[in-house]
Amino acid sequence: MGRVSDGRSAGGSDGSGGVDGGAPEDGRGSRPDGAERPRTLGVGLATAARCGPELVSPEGVEAQTCVLTQGRETWARTYYRNATGDDLTAVLALMAPGGRTVRMHCAVGAGDEPEVCETPRERTSGDVSAYTAIAEFAKGADGPLLLRSGSNSPAQKAR
């Protein structure tokens, strides 16, 4: 758990020096022609992540939920592990400014291996810090809620 990188590189593998095969950057985040370009880490667009804490339910579900932004795209991702021994259902929601919500239903198989569920990428609108993500894990569509994990959940304090 605790992973926040995208695992994919974006653009610029053709040796041209530019992120998307265009003109090389001048090191200040803009192209020589004056057009602005997002900052990169040398292998593609940097991915920013805002993640909530890693949470564990008494039943054995572990999850961490993040809002990810890369260039002009934003999406939600939850990293999870299902040690319950049962198949579960999960719903991951990305809530954008202005009330727009994108939901993804994820099948969570019985198994203790780390897995990922994410929403489709959407064009970022408004302030990216206003985006939040929530993942809910339950036993079946009508079963009890086992864990709710959010990108802005407060850290749990030990008792």
Q: Note whether 146 and 88 are within 8 A (CB).
A: yes
Q: Which residues contact 123 (CB under 8 A, 6 or more apart)?
A: 72, 73, 74
66 vs 10, which has greater pLDDT?
66
Gap between the Cα atoms of 32 and 35, Å rounded: 8
Q: Note whether 108 and 159 are within 8 A (CB).
A: no
Question: Mean pLDDT of all residues in the chain?
Answer: 77
How confident is the model over 29-46, as pLDDT tens digits? 444 445 455 555 556 678
- pTM of the full structure: 0.69
- Report which residue type is found at 18: G
Percentage of residues in the chain having pLDDT higher than 90 = 57
How confident is the model over 71-115, as pLDDT tens digits? 999 999 999 999 999 999 999 999 999 889 999 999 999 888 999
